Amino acid sequence: MKAITFKKAVSYFALASVFTMAGCQKEDALENKEAGLSSSEKALAAESGKAIEGQYIVTFKSDENPEGTIQTMMADDQITSSNVGSKFEGAVKGFSGKLSKTQVEALRKNPNVASIEQDRIITLGTTGTPVAQPAQSIPWGVARVGYGDGTGKTVWVIDSGIDPNHPDLNVDQTRSKSFILGVTSWVDVYGHGTTVAGVIGAKNNTIGVVGVAANATLVSLRVFDDYGRGSTSNAIKAVNHVAAYAKAGDVVNMSLGGGISTTLDNAVKAAAAKGILFAIASGNSAVDASNTSPARVNATGVYTVSSMNSAGAFSSFSNYGSPVDVAAPGESITTTTIGGGYVSSRGTSIAAPHVAGLLALRGNSMGRAGFVTGDKDSTPDAIVSK
C-alpha cells in the first residue's frame, strides 16, 4: 500500500486487442534467457512494450457520456464506427481503436478528450517447469509469508485466465469474463493465470499445494490470448470492470505490466479509491519500476511487489526502485497449472500473488518480517508476512 510502505516516501480483434504485460511477465527477457526458451518464446518476449501501429487509447473527461461523446465525434466526422474497437465505460471513459494521424490530431483538439496515448503490446513469459503432483505440501513461499483460510474472500485475477477444472482451485465461473475482443472464453489456455491463482488460493485439501488464502474465490478476468499476448487497452477494460463490480475489501492481482500508461494507472487508482486492494508485480527486467505501468502506481491500497529467493535475497531479475512497496517469494515456487497439473515457477508474477493472498486474509494490516538483502536501490524492501 503505497501510503504506508516502508520505502515510499513520495514516491496494455487480433493483435489490436493484444495486451502484453512485460514488466510482470512470469519470466521476461532477462529470465527467458536464463530459462532456455525456444526461439518462438524469445520472439514473443521481444514484442513486449512495442506500440500497436495505428492503435490508440482515447479517454474522455470525467463528466462525459462515452456513447454520446462517440456519437458526436462520428457526427462531426472525426471518427467512424470502424475506428472504435473497445469502449471504456466506468471510472475511465473513452475507447480504443484504429486511428489515422489526421484523426488523432483532430481528437487532440476536441474539448471532450482528456488524453490520447498509444496502445501497446504486452506479452507473458513461460509458465514454469512441470513437476509431479505432490501429496499435499506447502510451498516454501507460502510457508514463509504465512497462510490461512480464505473461504469467502474474493480475488480477481487479471491475467491469461484460470483453469476452471483444476481440482485445487475454487473458480467463480459466473463472474469470470474475457476482455479479448471477439473471444468470450475466460478459460486459461496459456497457463500463466492458473499459476498465479494457485499461489493465491490453492485449496487446503489432500492434494497438490496450499495457497496463501486457501480456498479463496478466484475470479478470472482474461486479457491475454492463447499465446500470451495482450494489450494495454484490454487491461484497462478489466480494471474498469473490477471498479464497477468488486466490493471494498476485494483483492485484485495484476501480474503484468508494460511501458508507461497513464490511463491504466488512473484506472487502478480509481478502483483503489473504492477500497479495492491491488497486488501488482514490479516486473522482471532488473530495471527501475518507475517506467512500468501499473507497477509505478502510488495509491492507498496498491502494493507493488518485488521478488526474493528462499534465503531472503533480492532476485536478480526483479525490478526495483521507489514504486516497490514490499518483497515476497518469487523463486522455485510450486503452484498449479492448466490441465490439473503443477509447475515450479518464478518471477515477480509469482511474488505478487503471495501479497494478494495476504491482502485477502488481512487487508492493509498484513505484516512485515524483516527486509531483503541485496536490494538494487540500496533501500531494502520489507518482506511481507501474515
Query: pLDDT tens, 212-254?
Result: 999 999 999 999 999 999 999 999 999 999 999 999 999 999 9
pLDDT (0 to 100) of residue 126: 72
Q: What confidence tier does 76 reach under pLDDT thresholds 50, 70, 90?
A: very high
Mean pLDDT throughout 32-48?
A: 51
Q: Quick check: 64 pLDDT over 70?
A: yes
Mean pLDDT throughout 38-65?
A: 78
pLDDT (0 to 100) of residue 62: 82
Q: Quick check: 24 pLDDT over 50?
A: no
Q: What confidence tier does 13 reach under pLDDT thresholds 50, 70, 90?
A: very low
pLDDT (0 to 100) of residue 34: 36
Sign of the Cα torsion 348, 353, 359, 365 reads negative
Pairing of strands 129-131, 341-345: antiparallel
pLDDT (0 to 100) of residue 334: 98
3-state secondary structure labels for all residues of the chain: CCCCCCCCCCCCCHHHHCCCCHHHCCCCHHHHHHHCCCHHHHHHHHHCCCEEEEEEEEEECCCCCHHHHHHHHHHCCCCCHHHCCEEECCCCCEEEEECCHHHHHHHHCCCCEEEEEEEEEEECCCCCEEECCCECECCHHHHHHCCEECCCCEEEEEECCECCCCCCCCECCCCCEECCCCCCCCECCCCHHHHHHHHHHCCCCCECECCCEECCEEEEEECCCCCCEEEHHHHHHHHHHHHHHCCCCCEEEECCCECCCHHHHHHHHHHHCCCCEEEEECCCCCCEHHHCECCCCCCCCEEEEEEECCCCEECCCCCECCCCCEEEECCCEEEEEHHHEEEEECCHHHHHHHHHHHHHHHHHHCEEEEECECCCCCCCCEEEEC
pLDDT (0 to 100) of residue 1: 53
Q: What confidence tier does 32 reach under pLDDT thresholds 50, 70, 90?
A: very low
Show the cell assigned to 157: 485475477
Q: Quick check: 21 pLDDT over 50?
A: no
pLDDT (0 to 100) of residue 35: 37
pLDDT (0 to 100) of residue 63: 82
Show the cell assigned to 84: 472504435
Mean pLDDT throughout 146-153?
A: 98
Query: pLDDT tens, 98-132?
Result: 999 999 999 999 999 999 999 998 878 778 999 99
Q: For the ranges 28-37, 95-104, 306-315, which has the lowest average pLDDT? A: 28-37
pTM listed for this prediction? 0.90
Query: pLDDT tens, 315-365?
Result: 999 999 999 999 999 999 999 999 999 999 999 999 999 999 999 999 999
Mean pLDDT throughout 279-286?
A: 94
Which of residues 108 and 41 earns the better pLDDT score?
108
Query: pLDDT tens, 93-103?
Result: 999 999 999 99
- Residues labelled catalytic: 159, 192, 349
Pairing of strands 333-337, 341-345: antiparallel
Domains and CATH numbers, the chain: 129-385 (3.40.50.200)
Q: Quick check: 33 pLDDT over 50?
A: no
